[in-house]
Structure 1
Amino acid sequence: MRKQFLYLCLALVVTKTINAQVRGTRIGYIDMEYILQNVSDYSEAKTQLELKAEKWKLEIDTKKIEINKLKESLKAERALLTKELIDERETEINFLEKESLEYQQKRFGANGDLVNQKSVLIKPIQDQVFTAVQDIAERLKYDFIFDKTSDLTMLFAAKRFDISDQILRTLNRIEKREQLTKKQQKEAEARESKEDAIDENPALAERQKLLDEKKATREKVLEDRKLLQEQKKKEFDDKRKQILEDREAKKNGTVSANVKKEDTPTNLTGNNVATEEAKQKQADAKAKLLEDRKKVLEDRKKILEEKRKKILDDREAIKKAKEEKLKENTNNN
């Protein structure tokens, strides 16, 4: 009976060892600095703490400047002071230096306010991170999870073993759940389940990555196609606008400057050059004809205006003559 029990225990140990060897040791690591930088609460609190530290540094620098002024003053006036006054000032300077050093230690020492407040600030987030690490380790069957920023020396760590983003997702889920409605929570849980499935299955993660890349490529193609269509539409609208302007210019008896510019042959050779030159000459001749016609019309208009003015002047002269004659007859009577 005892032998059978020993054989059974031995078989269990061997089976467990074989399973462990088949499965392999699963290792991951986190980057605590990266996680902290991407936690909004920590970033805001860290900014406030840095402002406090700057204020403390400014106070320390101000005290140092005051002490240096006292030292310079004592150095300049030492020859004029009595021994008692010199001792008194030196005592005052030593006291201020000691006070400044104590204040500096209080704020920036090993157990100073900066270190203590930073510990208070980081501890709640560290606790959340450790809880998230334990959950992920149990769910994804990790054997070891290290902190890249700890005292442990890591000479090399492949990016695929970094689970920092998974930790951040877990922290963000906890924060967002408090602000969601029941319906939104269900949708979030479904989305989280999908993300967890991707994390648990590397092949699925790779497939999802390929799908995302294809989706991004397709969206880029659609965007490029849309831009091309908009460009073609703009070119068509510009061309249509130019045609309308040319028609309007011809109707008014002028030639559009754009037409002249576009009709000027550039970078053409052979028959194309001759054709373009002929077109240009024809356009110039037409423009000259229109210009001459316009000049004739202006001259004719000018002549008519002069005739009209002469007729009006003659009428005015006749009218004045009649008035003078009538006035003369009246005077004679």
Structure 2
Amino acid sequence: MAQKTIRLGYIDMEYILENVPEYQEASKQLDNRVQEWKAEAEVKMRKVDDMKTRLDNERALLTKELIEEREGEISYMEQQAIEYQQNRFGPNGDYMIQKKQLVRPIQDQVFTAVQQIAENRNLDFVFDRTADIGMIYADQQYDVSETVLRTIKRTANREQLENRSEIKEFEQEENRTVEQDREITEREEQAEEKKSEREALIEQRRNERDSLKAVRQNEFEERRAKILAERERKKDSILRSREKKNDTIN
């Protein structure tokens, strides 16, 4: 990996969007909607300003109670206007939501195309020069997320290292490549899978034994019940015979 030349590519998402007719048509519709929202927001704020102006002009003629009532009404209308602006143009407002919905289908097409082109041209990374995040494609062989995770876990146990052999083993683990980490992870997963299979087989056999034991126990209980019933029947028969004999003698 150290000797391999890394191949890069980049796209201009804004240029792509500007040249997709479907996006441009939908973008125009959204722009028209935005202009309507702006006009409505201006109407609301202008109404608040008019109410403030009228109150200032009439303040000297109003009682304290009327002034407070008018001020409360103005405050309420102003809050409503601000909330309207936030609902339309805030970070989670209608404009941002619809903008994302508008761009998402094109982005999905771009990401699919980028992945195909990167694989065909053996590109390792592809960036979007107009995006804040930047990278939109990366060859999986450069993903060191698992290595970072393993390092964090090992670092948490660093203070527990007590002898040279443990320290040496720790250093060897830190120097492993992504491929080696992946192979080890796969082996561990396979071992865990086999362990789960063994445990499942043991549990199955245990259930079978328990089931067989239960069947035998039921059979034993049935036989025992029959024997007791037969004994009770014979006992009753003997008692009836004795009673009949005594009646004859008497």
Is residue 2:35 matched to residue 1:63?
Answer: no
Partner of 2:95: 114
Partner of 1:49: 30
One-letter amino acid of the counterpart of residue 107, structure 1: R
Partner of 2:85: 104
Q: Which of the residues 129, 132, 135 maps onto 2:113?
A: 132
User: So what's the TM-score if we normalise by structure 2?
Assistant: 0.52
- Deviation digits for residues 180-234 of structure 1, max 9, x if unmatched? xxxxxxxxxxxxxxxxxxxxxxxxxxxxxxxxxxxxxxxxxxxxxxxxxxxxxxx
TM-superposed CA distance for 1:68, in Å, is: 0.8
One-letter amino acid of the counterpart of residue 101, structure 1: I
Partner of 2:58: 77
One-letter amino acid of the counterpart of residue 26, structure 2: A
Q: Any stretches of 5+ residues in structure 1 without a counterpart?
A: 1-15, 155-333
Is residue 2:132 matched to residue 1:151?
Answer: yes
One-letter amino acid of the counterpart of residue 66, structure 2: L
SS at the partner of 1:33?
helix
Partner of 2:245: none
One-letter amino acid of the counterpart of residue 52, structure 1: R
Is residue 2:10 matched to residue 1:33?
Answer: no
TM-superposed CA distance for 1:17, in Å, is: 6.1
SS at the partner of 2:103?
helix
- Deviation digits for residues 46-65 of structure 1, max 9, x if unmatched? 11111111110100111111
SS at the partner of 1:93?
helix
Q: Any stretches of 5+ residues in structure 2 without a counterpart?
A: 136-250
Separation in 2 of the partners of 1:17 and 1:107? Answer: 51
Q: How many pairs are equivalent? A: 135
SS at the partner of 1:49?
helix
Give the aligned CA root-mean-square deviation in angstroms.
1.7
SS at the partner of 2:127?
strand
TM-superposed CA distance for 1:85, in Å, is: 1.0
Would the aligned equivalents of 2:13 and 2:128 in 1 still touch at CA under 8 Å? yes
TM-superposed CA distance for 1:25, in Å, is: 2.1
- Deviation digits for residues 17-75 of structure 1, max 9, x if unmatched? 65x3xxx3211100111111111111111111111111101001111111111111100
Q: Which of the residues 118, 122, 127 maps onto 1:141?
A: 122
SS at the partner of 1:29?
strand
Is residue 2:70 matched to residue 1:89?
Answer: yes
Separation in 1 of the partners of 2:18 and 2:29? Answer: 14
Separation in 2 of the partners of 1:110 and 1:151? Answer: 16
Partner of 1:219: none
One-letter amino acid of the counterpart of residue 8, structure 2: I
Check 1:28–1:40 CA distance in 2 against 1; reply closer, same or farther (3 A cut): same
Would the aligned equivalents of 2:128 and 2:134 in 1 still touch at CA under 8 Å? no
Separation in 1 of the partners of 2:91 and 2:10? Answer: 29
Larger Rg: 1
Separation in 1 of the partners of 2:84 and 2:13? Answer: 31
Higher mean C-alpha displacement, 119-128 vs 143-152: 143-152
SS at the partner of 2:126?
strand
Would the aligned equivalents of 2:7 and 2:124 in 1 still touch at CA under 8 Å? yes
Check 1:130–1:79 CA distance in 2 against 1; reply closer, same or farther (3 A cut): same
- Deviation digits for residues 57-110 of structure 1, max 9, x if unmatched? 100111111111111110011010111111111111000000000100000000
- Identity among equivalent pairs (%): 54
Separation in 1 of the partners of 2:134 and 2:87? Answer: 32
TM-superposed CA distance for 1:153, in Å, is: 7.3
Separation in 1 of the partners of 2:100 and 2:6? Answer: 33
